[in-house]
Amino acid sequence: MIYAAFGQVPMVAALFFGIKAAVLAIVIEALLRVAKRALQHVSGWWIAGLAFLALYVFQIPFPLIILAAALFGFFRSNAAPAEEIRTITPVPWRRTASTLALWLAFWVAMSSSPGGREQLGLKPREAGKPVLLAGMSLPPAEVADIVTGRCAMCHAPEPSWPGIQIAPKGVLLHEPEQIAIHARAIRSQAVMTHAMPPNNLSGMTPAERRTLAGWLAAAMR
> What pLDDT is recorded for position 210?
94
Q: What angle do CA 11, 16, 138 make, to 5 degrees?
A: 75
Question: Both 12 and 69 in a single domain?
Answer: yes
Question: Three-state DSSP class for 59?
Answer: coil
Classify residue 180: in a domain, yes or no. Answer: yes
72 and 150 share a domain?
Answer: no
Number of domains forming the structure of the chain: 2
Per-residue pLDDT, averaged over 203-211, amounts to: 94
* Band of pLDDT at residue 17, cut at 50, 70 and 90: low
Stretch 36-62: mean pLDDT: 73
Q: Is residue 128 part of a domain?
A: no
Q: What is the mean pLDDT of residues 197-208?
A: 92
Q: How confident is the model at residue 208, as a pLDDT?
A: 95
The reply to whether 6 and 113 lie within a common domain is: yes
What is the DSSP secondary-structure string of 137-158? -PPPHHHHHHHHHHTTTTSSSS
Residues 97 and 167 in one domain: no
Question: What mean pLDDT do residues 130-156 have?
Answer: 85
If 0-12 CB within 10 Å is exposed, 13-18 middle and 19+ buried, where does residue 174 land? buried
- The verdict on 10 and 109 lying in the same domain is yes
Tell me, what amino acid is at 24? L
Indicate whether 15 and 108 sit together in one domain.
yes
pLDDT value at 11 more than 60: no
Residue-number span of the structural domain to which 167 is assigned = 141-219
Half-sphere exposure of 215 (CA within 13 A, CB side): 28
Rounded Cα gap, residues 132 and 172, in angstroms: 14
The average pLDDT across 152-158 equals: 90
| 150 within a domain of the structure (yes/no) | yes
* 106 and 146 assigned to the same domain: no
Classify 87 in phi/psi space as left (phi over 0), alpha (psi -120 to 50) or beta.
Answer: beta
Q: Are residues 99 and 170 in the same domain?
A: no
Q: How far is CA 140 from CA 15, 38, 128, 176, 212, in A?
A: 34, 58, 22, 9, 10
Dihedral sign (CA 185, 191, 192, 196): positive
For 1-5, 116-120, 122-126, 127-131, which range has the lowest pLDDT when averaged over its residues? 1-5
Whether residue 155 contacts residue 173, with contact meaning beta carbons closer than 8 Å, is answered with yes
3-state secondary structure 66-89: HHHHHHHHHHHHHHCCHHHCCCCC
Of 127, 102, 103, nearest to 113 by C-alpha is 127
pTM beyond 0.85: no
Together in a domain, 154 and 202: yes
Rounded to 5 degrees, φ, ψ at 166 are: -130, 140
Contact (CB, 8 A) for 30 and 102? yes
90, 120, 150 - which closes a domain:
120
Distance of CA 42 to the CA centre of its chain: 33
